[in-house]
Amino acid sequence: MLWLAAVAVLGMRAATARAEDGHRLWLRYPLLEEPWRSEYRAVAAQIVDCSAARQSAVAGPLRAAQSELMRGLTGLLGAAPPVAGRITEAGALLLGTPRSCALVARERLPLRALGSEGFLIRSLTVRGRAATVIAANTDVGVLYGVFDFLRLLQTHRPVEHLDISSRPRLQLRVLDHWDNLDGTVERGYAGASIWDWWKLPDYLDPRYVEYARACASIGINGTVLNNVNANPLILTRPYLVKVAALAGVLRPYGLKVYLSARFSAPIDIGGLKTADPLDPAVRAWWRSKVDEIYRLIPDFGGVLVKASSEGQPGPQDYGRTHADGANMLADALAPHGGVVMWRAFVYGHSREDRARQAYDEFVPLDGKFRPNVLLQVKNGPIDFQPREPFHPLFGAMRHTPVMMEVQITKEYLGFATHLAYLGPLYEEVLRSDTYAKGKGSTVARVIDGSLFGYRITGMAGVANIGADRNWTGSEFDQANWYVFGRLAWDPTLGAKAIAEEWVRMTFSNDPAFVAPVVAMMMGSREAVVDYMTPLGLAHQMATGTHYGPGPWVADNREPDWNPVYYNRADSTGIGFDRTASGSDAVAQYAPHVAAEFSNLRTVPEQYLLWFHHVPWDYRLSSGRTLWDELALHYTHGVDAVRAMRKTWNGLAAYVDPERYAEVAAFLAIQEREAKWWRDASIAYFQTLSKRPLPPGVAAPAHPLAEYEAVCFPSSPGYPGKTPACSPPNPVIP
C-alpha cells in the first residue's frame, strides 16, 4: 500500500507538470481547495486494511478498488492517508465484502438486495469510532462503490452522514466497438483503434488499464472488441489468444469481453460449404469454436451478431429465421453462461417503409428465442438520427428480452467537432411511454425488465473511443461516454444532473462555470436537430460519409439510401406519410400512441414530418406556416451554436488554456458548418416550396448548385469510397 501511495504521488506531480490534454477524462483527481480538503481529510484520515483483503485481492477488483482509492485521495487531498490495521480516533475508510473483511461482516449491513454488483456507502460507528464503510457482496461491487465515493469528493458533495445504496438496473452495460482488425474504426472520429492487434498478446498497452478504469468508474461491465461488420479472423486461434490477453487486463475492473461474430464464419474460416443454422455440421462447428473460446477466456461474455442486414450473411440466406440463427449460437453458448446479442437493425430485403422492417421481421418471432438471447434494438426505427420516435419494438416483444442500442459516436451529429451532448437524446427515448401495458410503460421499464419480467436485461452504446490523447476526439464527446455509462447503470437518472457531475469532474466546481456550461450542453443536441433535421426530418446527410447536408440526393441504387426517400419534398409539401393513408408504420405502436402520432393536431411537432406529409402552408401551433417554421428552425440552430460560442468565450478564466482553445476552435467549426447546413437545406427546399423566406431569415450564401457539388472523398470513419470531386470541394463550408 505504501508503494501504491508513492506511485500515486509521483503520478500526481507528473500530471500537474504537463499541460491538460483531456487524457485523464473525468478521473483527474485535482487537488481540492479549502475548506473541502480539510473536510474530506477528516472523513478519510486513514484507510483500514483488512488482513483477509490482502489475500483475496492479488490482482482482482478489490485490489483495483484499493489502488483507485489511494490514487484518488492522494490527488484530491494532496497526500495519501495512512493505512492502519485497526480503526483509530481519526475518521476511517473501510472497504470490503463480508467475506474479505471481518469488520464489514460484523456490521451485518443490508447487502442482500444489492445483488452481485451493487454497493453500500454508509457513515457509521465501528468499535466506537467514526467510519465510512464502502461494502458490497462482491469485490467488483466494492470497486463501483469506491468510484462513487470518489465522485462525491470530486463534485463537492457532503460526506459526513452518508447512507447510499445503489445497484445496477440493467445487467449488461456494454460498449460496442466498431473497430476493425486493421486499426481503422467504422464511424470513429477519434483516431485509430485503441486495440493494437499487431502487438498483442505480447505487449499490453498501459492505455488498456486506463480504458478499464474509465469504464468501471461509470459502471460499464462489458466491451465488444470488434466491428459488427465482423472480420471472421477474430474467431481464429491467433486472434483469440490476443483477445484472452485483453480479457486479462480488463477483468480486474469488472469488464467482460464479447466478440462480434460473422454468421458465415463456418465457411470463411471453418472449411464448411454452408452456414445453415439447422445443418448439424454447422451447429457442431459453432459448439467446438465456443468451447475453444471458453478454454482461453473462462468468463467470456458472448457474441454480438449483425445478420441478414446491409448485405451481411445471415440465416435468411438459407430460408431460416432470425430465431433459427440466434438459437443455434445460444445453444453453443448456454453451457458456459454466454449470451447472444442479436441486432434487430435489419433492412434491405423489402421495398416497404424502412421504418417498418424490424418490427415486421421480429414480432412474429416473439417467444421463439432461447432464454440467453437478447434482441439489440436501436433507440429509433431508422438509424441513430439526431431525433427519432422510439422504436416500436420496445413494447412489442413481451416474451423476448430487448436491450436498447444507442450511438455514442456521433455519426449523424457532426462527428467529433460539433458539441452535441447526447444525454437529452437518451433520456428522451428512455422516458417515452410505449403504453404497452397502459400509461407508464416507458422504454426504461421495458429494457430494465420490470414491465415484462425479462430475466436478462441490457443496454449497449456504439463507442466513440479512439487513439487520440483525449480518447474521443473532443473534450465534450467524453460526456457522451460518461452519460451512457451512468444511464446504463440507472435509466431513471436525469441527463442534466449527469452533465453537472461530468462538468465538475472534468473542468471545475466553480458555480460560475458549471451553470452556463451545463445549460450549453443541455441545449446542444436540440441545436443540432434544428440545423440538420428539424420538425421530424431524418437522414438528410450526404451519402455514405453522413457528413454535411444532402437533402437533394436521389441517385443511390437502394431507395432508402437517398435523403429524398425520407423528406418526400415536392411542390405540395414535405414529410413521410406513415399514417394509414401512407405506409401505416404508425400502426406498429400501441393504439394510444398510434392515435396521437396519426393525428396532425396531436402529433408532437418534433415528429411532424416523420409521420406526415404536410402542405407548405399548413399552420403550426406558432401560427406560422410550415415553410416559415422550417426556415426559422434552421436559423435557430445556427443562432444556438453562436450563443454557445459566446458562452464559452466568457469562460477562459475557469479552464486551462489548452482545453479552452480546443473547444473554442471546435465551436467555430460547428458554427460554420451549422450555417452550411442551414443554407444548403433552405436553398434546396425553397426550389420546391417556391415561397419567400420569412423575416429574419437570411438568404443562402451560395446557389444550390454549389452546395450540391460539395463532396468529401476522405471523410473519417467511413469505410466506403466516395466519388472523386471534380472540381474538388468547390464550396468550402
633 neighbors 475 (Cβ within 8 angstroms): no
C-alpha pair distances (Å), 499 with each of 155, 486, 532, 666: 12, 10, 23, 19
Residues 6+ apart with CB under 8 A from 335: none
DSSP 8-class letter at 185: B
578 closest CA partner among 588, 569, 591: 588
| Strand extents, DSSP E, 458-548 | 458-462
User: Active-site residue 310, yes or no?
Assistant: yes
Q: How far apart (Å, rounded) are the C-alpha atoms in residues 476 and 700?
A: 30
Q: What does residue 658 show for φ and ψ, rounded to 5 degrees? A: -65, -50
Q: What is the number of other CB atoms lying within 10 angstroms of the CB of residue 373?
A: 25
Q: How far apart (Å, rounded) are the C-alpha atoms in residues 292 and 272?
A: 18
- Cell 399514417 locates to 579
614 neighbors 537 (Cβ within 8 angstroms): no
408 neighbors 422 (Cβ within 8 angstroms): yes
Cell digits of residue 340:
447472444
548 neighbors 541 (Cβ within 8 angstroms): yes
Q: Residues, the chain, total?
A: 733
Q: What is the number of other CB atoms lying within 10 angstroms of the CB of residue 693?
A: 16
| Helix or strand run (H / E) with residue 212 | helix 207-217
**Which neighbouring-strand residues pair with 461?**
175, 406
Check 324, 353, 411, 629 and give the catalytic one. 411
406 neighbors 388 (Cβ within 8 angstroms): no
Per DSSP bridges, beta strands 222-224 and 92-96 are: unpaired
DSSP 8-class letter at 647: H
Cell digits of residue 300:
467470456
Where are the alpha helices (H) located in 390-477, listed in sequence order?
423-430, 443-447
Check 310, 558, 570, 617 and give the catalytic one. 310
| Helix or strand run (H / E) with residue 75 | helix 61-77
User: Active-site residue 475, yes or no?
Assistant: no
Residue 569, amino acid? A
Task: Show the 3-state SS of 250-275.
Answer: HHHHCCEEEEECCCCHHHHCCCCCCC
Angle (CA) 434-436-440 rounded to 5° is 60
Report the SS3 class of residue 695: coil
Report the SS3 class of residue 652: helix
Check 49, 179, 383, 673 and give the catalytic one. 383
Cell digits of residue 169:
438496473
Cis peptide, bond prior to residue 727, ω within 30 of zero: yes
Question: How does DSSP assign 536-561, residue by residue?
Answer: G----BPTTT--SB-TT----SSGGG
Residues 6+ apart with CB under 8 A from 726: none
Q: How far apart (Å, rounded) are the C-alpha atoms in residues 40 and 159?
A: 8
Q: How far apart (Å, rounded) are the C-alpha atoms in residues 590 and 691?
A: 38
User: Active-site residue 388, yes or no?
Assistant: no
Q: What is the number of other CB atoms lying within 10 angstroms of the CB of residue 112?
A: 8
DSSP 8-class letter at 387: S
Q: How far apart (Å, rounded) are the C-alpha atoms in residues 690 and 303?
A: 52
- Cell 492479488 locates to 58
Q: How far apart (Å, rounded) are the C-alpha atoms in residues 473 and 476?
A: 9
Q: How far apart (Å, rounded) are the C-alpha atoms in residues 92 and 44?
A: 5
Output the furthest CA–CA distance in the chain (Å, rounded): 81
Q: Catalytic site residues? A: 310, 383, 411
